[in-house]
Homo-oligomer: A and B are copies of this chain.
Amino acid sequence: MAVTIKDVAKKAGVAPSTVSRVIADNPRISLDTKKRVRKAMKDLGYHPNINARNLAVRSSQAIGVIMPSSADKALQNPFFPEVLRGIGSFAHEAEYSLYVSTGGNEEDVYEEVQRMVNGNRVDGIILLYSRIADPVQQFLTEKNFPFVMVGKPSEQESEITYVDNNNFKASKDLTNHLIDIGHRHIAFIGGSTELTVTLDRLNGYKSAIEEAGLPLPNEYTVHAEFLKSGGRDAVEQLFALDEPPTGLVVADDLMSLGVINTLEEIGLSCPEDVSLTSFNNLYLSEITTPPLTTVDIQIYQLGVQSARCLIEKAKNKDEPAKRIIVPYEIKFRQSTKSNTSETLQ
Known A81-B81, A82-B75, A289-B287; contact A98-B102, beta-carbon cutoff 8 A? yes
Name the one of B52, B99, B289 contacting A99, with C-beta atoms under 8 angstroms: B99
- CB pair A102 B92 closer than 8 Å: yes
Chain A, 23-57, CB within 8 A of any chain B CB: 47-55
Known: A47-B118, A100-B100. A88 touches B71 (CB 8 A): yes
Q: How far is the CA of A72 from the CA of B92 in the complex (A)?
A: 10
The yes or no answer to A189 lying at the interface (CB within 8 A) is no
CB distance from A144 to the nearest CB of B (A): 15
> Is A68 engaged at the interface, CB distance under 8 Å to the other chain?
no
Q: Which chain A residues (103-158) contact chain B, with CB distance < 8 Å? A: 103-104, 108, 112, 114-116, 118-121
Q: Does A62 contact B (CB under 8 A)?
A: yes
Which B residues lie within 8 Å of A53 (CB)? 119
Instruction: Answer whether residue A91 sits at the interface, using C-beta atoms and an 8 A cutoff.
Output: yes
The quantity of this chain's copies bound in the complex is: 2
Considering only residues 55-96 of chain A, those with a C-beta below 8 Å from chain B are 55, 60, 62, 71-72, 75-76, 78, 80-82, 84-85, 88-89, 91-92, 96
Q: Tell whether A14 is near chain B: CB-to-CB under 8 Å.
A: no
Query: Would you call A4 an interface residue if the criterion is a C-beta within 8 Å of the partner chain's C-beta atoms?
Result: no
- With A49-B119, A55-B52, A108-B92 known as contacts, the answer to whether A98 contacts B99 (CB < 8 A) is yes
Q: Which residues of the other chain, B, contact A81 by a CB distance below 8 angstroms? A: 75, 78, 80-81, 84
Contacts of A52 in B (CB 8 A): 51, 55
Chain B's nearest CB lies how many Å from the CB of A75?
A: 4
**What residues on B are CB-neighbors of A99 within 8 Å?**
62, 97-100
Does A343 make an interface contact (CB < 8 A)?
no
Number of interface residues of A (CB under 8 A): 48
Interface check A257, CB cutoff 8 A: yes
Please state if B120 and A47 are interface contacts (CB–CB under 8 Å).
no
Residues of B within 8 A of A75 (CB): 81-82, 84-85, 88
C-alpha spacing A35/B203, complex, angstroms: 47
A192 interfacial by beta-carbon distance below 8 Å: no
A104 and B92 CA atoms in complex are apart in Å by: 8
Of all chain B residues, the one with the shortest Cβ separation from A56 is: B51
How far apart sit A55 and B101, CA to CA, in the bound complex (Å)?
23
13 contacts between A and B (CB under 8 A): A47-B118, A47-B119, A48-B119, A50-B119, A51-B51, A51-B121, A75-B81, A75-B82, A78-B81, A84-B100, A91-B102, A92-B102, A92-B108
Q: A81-B81, A97-B99 are in contact. List 4 more A-B contacts (CB 8 A).
A: A50-B115, A53-B119, A78-B78, A97-B115
Please name the 3 residue pairs, one residue from A and one from B, whose CB atoms are nearest each other, closest first.
Answer: A50-B119, A47-B118, A92-B102
